[in-house]
Chain A
């Protein structure tokens, strides 16, 4: 059985300004499950999008060979015609159609344009039974839970009898029992000779199901191992092993008194009923401290900050103490009044208002401060905004420029200016340097150091390991909504390996 089925050779893919994949090589044998592991942004998903035809063949360099025959995919359809089926991380189901219709969407059985429902339901029932699901095939998908939907999308791919099945983090929405089912289905498929690419950052699963594993990091394939011959420790080191550049002006500061304490923070999962994305988390923050929050995507990091800030209210449980006094934060306004500022991860979604000017964006969180009664004091507004613009070195013709015309880094500075104008004591930063250039990054770090020196305390969520390790005095690592490790500069146990270990739930 050990014959080569798929070969991806020298795949290189560039996004504007970023090299997403750099000479990636992967070989998949017939009837094997190949694990692909790596950090956030290692290039796993990009690689799979190339294999599944989401990127046109002209957009990348390199070759794909199936059975030693070169192939070119210009659409998802091309890839499917070659027997490649992808099960996506995010669910793509028609929520208001039935289970059966979803399973066979695109190739409903029937003749002359009419659907043969008897045949449809019969085939659907077989698939549902294979997935060990106890649901009627006429059920509307919206009424199912996300685990069931995830298994259905797997079965939809299986129903097309693929040669190669690609799974991208398939267990994110699954419970323990459902993971077992998934593993059984995959084993059966393997026995039938189907090959499978299994992307996951959960090493436990990789060990459980895969024959071999490929480690990716920074858009490259680092190594390939037989799963029998490799220890977890080695995989972790290969996933993180990266040199840290010296662009962090972190100064040694002695954190002062406690300024913020959060107790028993619990946030329900937005899409999975009955699951908590943040599960009974407690932490403290000291004056002048930078507290880093690490963990993988979906571990509940952003939700922690958002919930404390009052962004989410529904069914959130928390106790918040500022300077040892309990405070009620039911909405963002109360958070601001308590001296908290919040730079969110999604700049476009909830950071800026596109069509407004730099000035108008900056004064948004400070309307009370710059107004006399109803009226905005335009002179005061201009002065305050001008002060931020020059201290943050925002590059723009003037402060009336609409933010839509600014670069990502400058937009981020405008958002920072908005919060600094409010003179916060506590600043929440969620992926503060995501998608901005190196120069502006360095500016950001300098500003952070300056702020902590003046007594501001910062909580920073970051997936950028060097940034997290260099800037934080202390790091909390979240895994599955719980704190799974606390590393401190003082104890000297901040290292990529330690963070990664905690993040994958070791």
Chain B
């Protein structure tokens, strides 16, 4: 009897505290994974390994955080991978070929993202063309542009040690700068989403564009801004990678677009817009890194990586659906 009672309270607690949160779909599988991997391999929770995981999380999260806002606004972007590569290559080109200083080169890289963002916004927002196809087309165009201009060879010979700090430097000799940058970006995006007019407008537009328009929200302007922001942050991610590898990799970010979007969706952001959270997207990115890292530690072939990620993606949608149906019955 007593046991049964305890079970129910635990049950209620679990449902109240965890299952009702939008991040439940990612949190539970992540927790399970952490326990299993930690149990099998004691090195998993070693400080250096944790920092390693966070480091790879930071690169995806720098893109995923602004992308979350875009997807809440009912947008999508397949060109994030290409914009990342372009940002890195352009920045590297500024340093190695133009022999510009660090700051102007970084600005040049960001500017390339800005241009991509503008083109994308014009096509998707101004002319109201389907984002899926437009950004797919943009990806192909950018990829090819990079290959043509670089001949498919990474832009190397940066010869600039100070620039390396961005992607290789560590705070206290331990924590990589990109981790800290990603945290700052995450907090920034969270604040924008939850505490500003702009964030509220994004939710409204994603939830119901027509209602938002009739409530006097500047739909076109808001969408323009978020579309462009995403591309700029992609370019920034590319610049960080350029610094990390000390060269502008032509294939940086290739194939990451769908994975990052999946990470955002796993984190509880609706594919149809309206709701989502930055914390969820962070957990989604973390999950990706944990799978990668854990498999290596457990000596499992990395070929399994995508299967596990795919399974979790499917399971997380089930959890999300369950959560919604539970919530729908509450009032």
| Residues of chain B in range 195-251 having any CB-CB distance to chain A below 8 Å | 195-198, 200-201, 203-204, 207-208, 210-218
| Nearest neighbor of A370 in chain B, beta-carbon distance | B197
Q: Decide if B214 touches A353 in the complex (CB within 8 Å).
A: no
Residues of chain B within 8 A (CB-CB) of A354 are 207-208, 274
B167 smallest CB distance to A (angstroms): 31
**Given A367-B200, A396-B331, A405-B328, A355–B274 Cβ distance below 8 Å?**
yes
Choose among B195, B203, B207, B328 the residue that contacts A375 (Cβ–Cβ < 8 A).
B195
| Residues of chain A in range 328-356 having any CB-CB distance to chain B below 8 Å | 331-333, 335-337, 342, 344, 349-356
B213 smallest CB distance to A (angstroms): 6
The stretch of A18-26, A259-267, A358-366 in contact with B is A358-366
Say whether A114 faces chain B, with CB atoms less than 8 Å apart. Answer: no
Number of interchain pairs (Cβ within 8 Å):
85
B2 smallest CB distance to A (angstroms): 32
In the complex, per-residue mask of B259-300: 1 if CB is within 8 Å of any chain A CB, else 0: 000000000001000110000000000000000000000000
Residues of chain A within 8 A (CB-CB) of B331 are 396-397, 401, 405-406
Choose among A342, A375, A404 the residue that contacts B214 (Cβ–Cβ < 8 A).
A342
A100 smallest CB distance to B (angstroms): 31
Q: Decide if A332 touches B211 in the complex (CB within 8 Å).
A: no
| Nearest neighbor of A347 in chain B, beta-carbon distance | B211
| Nearest neighbor of B194 in chain A, beta-carbon distance | A376
What is the interface of chain A mostly: helix, strand, loop, or mixed? mixed
CA distance A376 to B330 in the complex (A): 28
Q: Decide if B270 touches A364 in the complex (CB within 8 Å).
A: no
Q: Decide if A356 touches B203 in the complex (CB within 8 Å).
A: yes
**Given A311-B214, A364-B212, A365-B215, A355–B270 Cβ distance below 8 Å?**
yes
CA distance A344 to B215 in the complex (A): 11
Choose among A332, A376, A396, A397 the residue that contacts B197 (Cβ–Cβ < 8 A).
A376
| Residues of chain A in range 349-407 having any CB-CB distance to chain B below 8 Å | 349-356, 360, 363-365, 367-368, 371, 374-376, 378, 396-397, 401-402, 404-406
Residues of chain B within 8 A (CB-CB) of A121 are none
Choose among A336, A356, A406 the residue that contacts B207 (Cβ–Cβ < 8 A).
A356
Residues of chain B within 8 A (CB-CB) of A368 are 197
What is the interface of chain B mostly: helix, strand, loop, or mixed? helix
Residues of chain B within 8 A (CB-CB) of A355 are 207, 270, 274-275
Residues of chain B within 8 A (CB-CB) of A360 are 200, 203-204
B74 smallest CB distance to A (angstroms): 11
Q: Decide if B330 touches A405 in the complex (CB within 8 Å).
A: yes
Say whether A309 faces chain B, with CB atoms less than 8 Å apart. Answer: yes
Residues of chain A within 8 A (CB-CB) of B211 are 350-353, 364
Choose among B196, B204, B216, B218 the residue that contacts A353 (Cβ–Cβ < 8 A).
B204
CA distance A421 to B278 in the complex (A): 30
Residues of chain A within 8 A (CB-CB) of B213 are 311, 331-332, 350
Residues of chain A within 8 A (CB-CB) of B210 are 349-350
CA distance A337 to B216 in the complex (A): 9
Residues of chain A within 8 A (CB-CB) of B275 are 355
| Nearest neighbor of A378 in chain B, beta-carbon distance | B195
Q: Decide if A332 touches B214 in the complex (CB within 8 Å).
A: yes
B185 smallest CB distance to A (angstroms): 17
Choose among A350, A367, A374 the residue that contacts B208 (Cβ–Cβ < 8 A).
A350
CA distance A64 to B196 in the complex (A): 61
CA distance A53 to B276 in the complex (A): 43
CA distance A117 to B19 in the complex (A): 59
Say whether A413 faces chain B, with CB atoms less than 8 Å apart. Answer: no
| Residues of chain A in range 407-425 having any CB-CB distance to chain B below 8 Å | 418
**Given A352-B211, A354-B274, A333–B216 Cβ distance below 8 Å?**
yes
Choose among B196, B208, B214 the residue that contacts A376 (Cβ–Cβ < 8 A).
B196
Residues of chain A within 8 A (CB-CB) of B274 are 353-356
Q: Decide if A352 touches B208 in the complex (CB within 8 Å).
A: yes
Residue among B208, B215, B216 with the highest chain A CB neighbour number at 10 A: B215
Nearest 10 pairs of A and B residues by beta carbon: A353-B207, A350-B210, A405-B331, A333-B216, A364-B215, A365-B215, A336-B216, A355-B274, A353-B208, A367-B197
Known: A333-B216, A367-B201, A406-B331. 20 other contacts (CB 8 A): A309-B214, A336-B215, A342-B214, A350-B213, A353-B203, A353-B211, A353-B212, A353-B274, A355-B275, A360-B200, A360-B204, A364-B211, A364-B215, A367-B200, A371-B197, A374-B196, A375-B195, A376-B195, A396-B331, A418-B215
Tell me the B residues contacting A by CB distance below 8 Å.
195-198, 200-201, 203-204, 207-208, 210-218, 270, 274-275, 327-328, 330-331
